[in-house]
Amino acid sequence: MAGPRKIEVALPAWYIKDKAINYPLEILAATGTALELEHGGETVSIRPATLGFFMLLEWTGSLFFKSPRDAGIEDIAAAIVCANGGKSLFPPDKHRIASMSRKLADKSGGVIIFHSNTIFEWLLSTPYTGYEMLRNKGKERRPEPFLFSGTSIAAIVNAGAKYAGITQEQSIWEMPLTLAGHLIATNDCGTLDPARPKDEEDVKRKTEEAIQREIAGELHPWQEKYPELYPLSFRQAKKQKAYKESKK
């Protein structure tokens, strides 16, 4: 015997909040500007993440990249070293990077710990705010031992040449991934404007609320605001008809 039919309600996109974006960080990254952090007299400057930065992290088995929750101060410092060092550290020498990371942690450990959340956001989230707006998702790649390998390199070099008129080396080591993602999203679907992703918690909450209204036969906020655009669902119409008949 079949179970109860699942109730589905389509929420208009405009009714759902966009995902929260740290616009100051996004603007700094997209313009290739370093993030300057200070605390207790200590300072640290961190360049925006590039594809080359992620190549370095992945190649060296960075805990900052693989398991951010488990990353310690030297792991965070290593990520900063890779972001600032770029091509000068490639191919990566783990011992050299580890030595540089220890020195940075000793020198600027206080500011790194104090601003650790911002550093994670700057280097792991902000680089992808443009890619999150892609409408033409395409097929997912099959898992490979390395994520940032030939396919990723070719894609970023193609984007740099096509949309920014820059060289292979500049695309890999100098173009911020934040900018690359926005360039690709802007050109992704022709005349369609890039759209920010939606806030998942807001989607969940408003979907649950909409299902309860649907069960009760009540109008949704978008139906109250634009009745000509959003007609009653079958369930709503049935509930309202039954209510009217009960009043006769």
DSSP 112: H
Q: Using an 8 Å Cβ cutoff, are 159 and 171 in contact?
A: yes
Query: Bridge-partner residues for 18, per DSSP?
Result: 198
Per-residue pLDDT at 5 exceeds 70: no
Q: What is the pLDDT of residues 114-158, one digit of tens each?
A: 999 999 999 999 999 999 988 776 666 777 889 999 999 999 999
Q: What is the pLDDT of residues 80-97, one digit of tens each?
A: 999 999 999 999 999 999
Q: What is the pLDDT of residues 21-52, one digit of tens each?
A: 999 999 999 999 999 999 999 999 999 999 99
DSSP string computed for 103-166: HHHHHHHHHHHHTHHHHHIIIIIGGGTTGGG-S---PPPPP-S-SSSHHHHHHHHHHIIIII--
- Alpha carbon separation from 230 to 45, 221, 234 (Å, rounded): 51, 10, 12
Q: Using an 8 Å Cβ cutoff, are 157 and 171 in contact?
A: yes
pTM flag (> 0.85): no
